[in-house]
Structure 1
Amino acid sequence: MQVNSEPTTQQDSTEELSPESPERKDEHGGRTPARPAVVRQLTAGDAEKAAALRKMKVVALCLLIAMAVVFVVAFALQKQYPWLEYVRAAAEGGMVGALADWFAVTALFRYPMGLKIPHTAIIPRRKDQIGASLGEFVETNFLSEQVVQDKLASINISGKVGSWLSGPGGAERVAKEGAAVIRGTFKVLNDDDVQAVIEGMVRRHLLAPPWGPPVGRMAERIFADGHHHKLVDLLVDRAADWMAANHQTVSRLVTERSPQWVPSFVDGLVGDKVYIELLKFTRAVQDDQQHQVRLSIDKYLTDLAQDLQHDPAMIARAEGIKAQVLGDPEVRELASRTWATIKGALLTAVDDPDSELTVKFKAAVRDFGTRLVTDEELAGKVNAWIGDAAGYLVRTYRSDIAGVITDTVARWDAEETSQKIELQVGKDLQFIRINGTVVGSLAGLAIFTVAHLTFG
């Protein structure tokens, strides 16, 4: 494996693609389309792993060379020194073990010595199948609905979240992030589009339905319960007060409307008489809850409520009043003012950490966090909701999630994939070569010893 052993300060690995990589032959000798050559810049961690891998390769190779030297020396001198036969057998077994394990380790990542021996270069050749198997393994064993729900139930998410929300800084962090979300949302939203939505809602829910019947039903309930009597009392009281305070005004009005031939003293007497009668009348209406005027008002209002519900002419008049009050310009202005008010109020509130909205929001967050910690029933419901939601996501999207592994591995270059995997596990695999050398030596020595004692 060829890797860049010099560490870099780059934190994330990058890939530089060369547009001039040559065509390659596949394992059957056919031409495959040229793929961009990948030059990996190793991170500091990868460079450290590459250095450790090279070191272990050197150790394993040195051990093989040492066995070869011992074998040559022992083989040359074994006739002169018979005990060297045991050393030769041990060295011979060590070389066989070292070579066999070198072949096994190398066959995982590439063709040994470039020879396309069957069942070698397993990772480059079967990269896609390995990715698919890994994705299937993760989907089957890790993305199980029951596994996810059991794990979530064991960590008590509601309790941890509640402790954080009720603790110092939790509510402030939520309020801060919420304010950022609101500000970002207002920046993204187009004012004209929002106003158009509000205008559409006003037209659909406020202007499109006829006003007469619902207003009539509401008025009927109000009049039946007598809630309008306080308004009538207010009007009668104001009329009586005005009458008591405007004697001269009533007298002047009578004088102005009397014939010119009537003497002035007569106008004064008539004006006083009219004022007195009007004052008596208003006081009588004020004092008598069953006065004919009050009863007439009640009957008029009751009839009006019925007409608003059932009389087509009255319903049409109500619609005409609605059209006059809320025409197109008025609706647009209403939508514009509504959005401007909501937007301004929210932006002002979220920008001020001491605003009433922010303070109440933080208090609500802390209270909710405290309840999550102390209220076992609420905590259980929240944990159940989280578990159900996670179960639904896993049940619905488990194949898509596992597909990320399969698709990612499929996009990797075969040689690049082999290098990545060898970089992660190659150091440990080199111990197989070392162990093979040691075990081969012991096995060779044991076999030769048994054979020599048995047949020698």
Structure 2
Amino acid sequence: MERTDSDTAADAARTPVTDATSTGRLAAAGFAYGAADEERRRAVRRMKTLATGMLLAVALVYVLAKWAGSAGAGGWTGFVAAAAEAGMVGALADWFAVTALFKRPMGLPIPHTAIIPTKKDQLGQSLGDFVGENFLSGEVVRRRLHSVGVGRRLGGWLAEPKNADRVTAEVSTALRGALTVLRDSDVQAVVGEAITRRADAQEIAPGLGGLLERIVAEGGHTRVVDLVVARAHDWLVEHGDSVMTAVSGGAPGWTPRFVDRKVGDRVYKELLRFVTEMRDMPEHPARGAIDRFLRDFADDLQSDPDTRARVERLKAEVLGRSEVQDLIASAWGSVRGMIVAAAEDERSELRLRVRAALLSLGRRLAAEERLQGKVDGWLENAAVYVVTTYQSEITALITDTVAGWDAEHTSKKIEAHIGRDLQFIRINGTVVGALAGLTIYAVSQAFGG
């Protein structure tokens, strides 16, 4: 019985690989023979046995037919011998063709044999070129994505609540993972530097002046004035003795004490009356004075160089204080904690809003063709950019991977996958050859050959 490379693969399967170097080489090449490969090799051996058995069967038939013909059994033996002879030729020819894919038949250096081991690198290069030309061209990718309609399908998928919940959970997990990986010290340093640099680069006085001007024009400051005046009135009512004592204590030592008390009482009453009138009279002159002061100050903040310079110096002093820098840096820790807690809580406002946004996006994508076109265009442009920019790297991955495979094990692996079908070629060759031989012999006999 002839022996092909699939026999060698079968022997290798029956012999356990114990050498660490061989095992490592197989793993590095990406070839790890598992239970599925063992089953494939058993199927290949069964089909090989069947194909070889048919070759032996037609050879035996040929010998018997020739013997019967020489013994005078009749003309039918010629037909049988011709069919058997052609069947042997077909079987041997297909055995040669199948064997030549994986090894040199009978070890002979016949040209164009052992195609897979000797042409492995060329096959890898051809495969890479084929993929690059037929799958990684910009036009092919754009046409394929356009026909799929990713935007419409994505919208329909996201519009399902269970899918929106799934995406929300995945986004939350990814967000928690990213925040966990980031080091607080690094982020705090970046945030602090960014805030400080932004504040240093931008003058704040004109902005503050414009804001104050709008607040005064809209009367927003009156609530603050009302609050201050009301609190001042309450404080004076509660601490009248303290005010009178302070006024009396500031009087000269030579004045009589009853005079000091009279003066203190008078000052307290006048101060209380003034504050009470400010509280109860929206048109009080002091309120108007406050309005004029705030308007003038807002104008100075926007146009007066000295005022603006003072604000900038004050800003620099405030930002330069260590307490402020520590506050800026520690803000990240608080923000991170809130985000992580919200991401973990399924009922948090953050996750509910993300889920609602996904559902809304899904419904819009499913219904609005204009939005679908935008999404499809973005995806197509992104995919085309990737395949056209990195086409050579992607195809090089294929060619380099194939080039790194061991030639012998490549042949064994491929034969384990397609060897069973190749044995059918041998069986078909035997049957078709026998039928062709029988037909040719019958035609030749019919025309007096």
Structure 1 residues 245 and 95: alpha-carbon distance in aligned structure 2, compared to 1, 3 A threshold: closer
Report the counterpart of residue 171 of structure 2 in structure 1: 178
Deviates more, 1:265-274 or 1:177-186: 265-274
Q: Which has the higher helix share?
A: 2
Q: CA shift at 1:193, angstroms?
A: 0.9
- Alpha-carbon distance in 2 for matches of 1:39, 1:316: 70
Q: Are 2:196 and 2:319, in contact at CA under 8 Å, matched by a contact in 1? A: no
Q: CA shift at 1:277, angstroms?
A: 5.5
Q: Are 1:4 and 1:41, in contact at CA under 8 Å, matched by a contact in 2? A: no
- Alpha-carbon distance in 2 for matches of 1:198, 1:126: 58
Pick from 165, 188, 195 the counterpart of residue 188 of structure 2.
Answer: 195
Counterpart code for 1:176: A
Counterpart code for 1:57: K
Question: CA deviation digits over 1:388-423, x for unaligned, max 9?
Answer: 322332333333333332222111122222222222
Pick from 85, 96, 117 the counterpart of residue 110 of structure 2.
Answer: 117
Q: Are 1:14 and 1:41, in contact at CA under 8 Å, matched by a contact in 2? A: no
Pick from 374, 384, 387 the counterpart of residue 391 of structure 1.
Answer: 384
Deviates more, 1:183-192 or 1:123-132: 183-192
- Alpha-carbon distance in 2 for matches of 1:37, 1:271: 97
Q: CA shift at 1:20, angstroms?
A: 12
Pick from 47, 55, 76 the counterpart of residue 67 of structure 2.
Answer: 76
Q: CA shift at 1:245, angstroms?
A: 7.5
Q: Are 2:31 and 2:413, in contact at CA under 8 Å, matched by a contact in 1? A: no
Number of equivalences = 439
Deviates more, 1:437-446 or 1:214-223: 214-223
TM-score in terms of structure 2 length: 0.82
Q: Are 1:50 and 1:423, in contact at CA under 8 Å, matched by a contact in 2? A: yes
- Alpha-carbon distance in 2 for matches of 1:374, 1:293: 62
Question: CA deviation digits over 1:366-395, x for unaligned, max 9?
Answer: 333344334444344333333332233233
Q: Are 1:161 and 1:369, in contact at CA under 8 Å, matched by a contact in 2? A: yes
User: Are 1:49 and 2:40 an aligned pair?
Assistant: yes
Structure 1 residues 3 and 231: alpha-carbon distance in aligned structure 2, compared to 1, 3 A threshold: same
Structure 1 residues 109 and 296: alpha-carbon distance in aligned structure 2, compared to 1, 3 A threshold: same
User: Are 1:17 and 2:21 an aligned pair?
Assistant: yes
- Alpha-carbon distance in 2 for matches of 1:235, 1:37: 79
- Where does the alignment leave 5 or more consecutive residues of structure 1 unmatched? 22-34
Deviates more, 1:263-272 or 1:141-150: 263-272
Instruction: Map 1:40-189; keep pairs closer than 5 Å.
Output: 42-79=33-70, 80-83=72-75, 84-189=77-182
Q: CA shift at 1:132, angstroms?
A: 1.3
- Alpha-carbon distance in 1 for matches of 2:64, 2:315: 114
Report the counterpart of residue 3 of structure 1 in structure 2: 9
- Alpha-carbon distance in 2 for matches of 1:213, 1:328: 23
- Alpha-carbon distance in 2 for matches of 1:245, 1:191: 49
Structure 1 residues 312 and 65: alpha-carbon distance in aligned structure 2, compared to 1, 3 A threshold: same
Q: CA shift at 1:75, angstroms?
A: 2.3
Q: CA shift at 1:231, angstroms?
A: 3.3
TM-score in terms of structure 1 length: 0.81
Structure 1 residues 261 and 192: alpha-carbon distance in aligned structure 2, compared to 1, 3 A threshold: closer
Structure 1 residues 342 and 251: alpha-carbon distance in aligned structure 2, compared to 1, 3 A threshold: closer
Question: CA deviation digits over 1:151-191, x for unaligned, max 9?
Answer: 33444434444444443532332233233223322332111
Structure 1 residues 235 and 113: alpha-carbon distance in aligned structure 2, compared to 1, 3 A threshold: same
Report the counterpart of residue 209 of structure 2 in structure 1: 216
Question: CA deviation digits over 1:77-115, x for unaligned, max 9?
Answer: 324234122222222211111111111121122111110
Deviates more, 1:66-75 or 1:297-306: 297-306
Q: Are 2:30 and 2:405, in contact at CA under 8 Å, matched by a contact in 1? A: no
Counterpart code for 1:351: E
- Alpha-carbon distance in 2 for matches of 1:316, 1:64: 104
- Alpha-carbon distance in 1 for matches of 2:348, 2:18: 47
User: Are 1:339 and 2:332 an aligned pair?
Assistant: yes
The higher relative CO (CA closer than 8 Å, separation ≥ 6) is in 2
Q: CA shift at 1:292, angstroms?
A: 5.0
SS of residue in 2 equivalent to 1:42: coil
- Where does the alignment leave 5 or more consecutive residues of structure 2 unmatched? none
Compute the RMSD of aligned alpha carbons. 3.8
Counterpart code for 1:108: L
Q: Are 1:127 and 1:414, in contact at CA under 8 Å, matched by a contact in 2? A: yes
Q: CA shift at 1:318, angstroms?
A: 2.3
User: Are 1:414 and 2:403 an aligned pair?
Assistant: no
SS of residue in 2 equivalent to 1:215: helix
Structure 1 residues 342 and 77: alpha-carbon distance in aligned structure 2, compared to 1, 3 A threshold: same
Structure 1 residues 194 and 453: alpha-carbon distance in aligned structure 2, compared to 1, 3 A threshold: same
Counterpart code for 2:73: Y
Query: Could you tell me the percent identity over the aligned residues?
Result: 47
Instruction: Map 1:349-428; keep pairs closer than 5 Å.
Output: 349-428=342-421
SS of residue in 1 equivalent to 2:110: coil
Question: CA deviation digits over 1:407-449, x for unaligned, max 9?
Answer: 2211112222222222222222222222222222222223333
Pick from 315, 322, 328 the counterpart of residue 315 of structure 2.
Answer: 322
Report the counterpart of residue 443 of structure 2 in structure 1: 450
Report the counterpart of residue 27 of structure 1 in structure 2: none
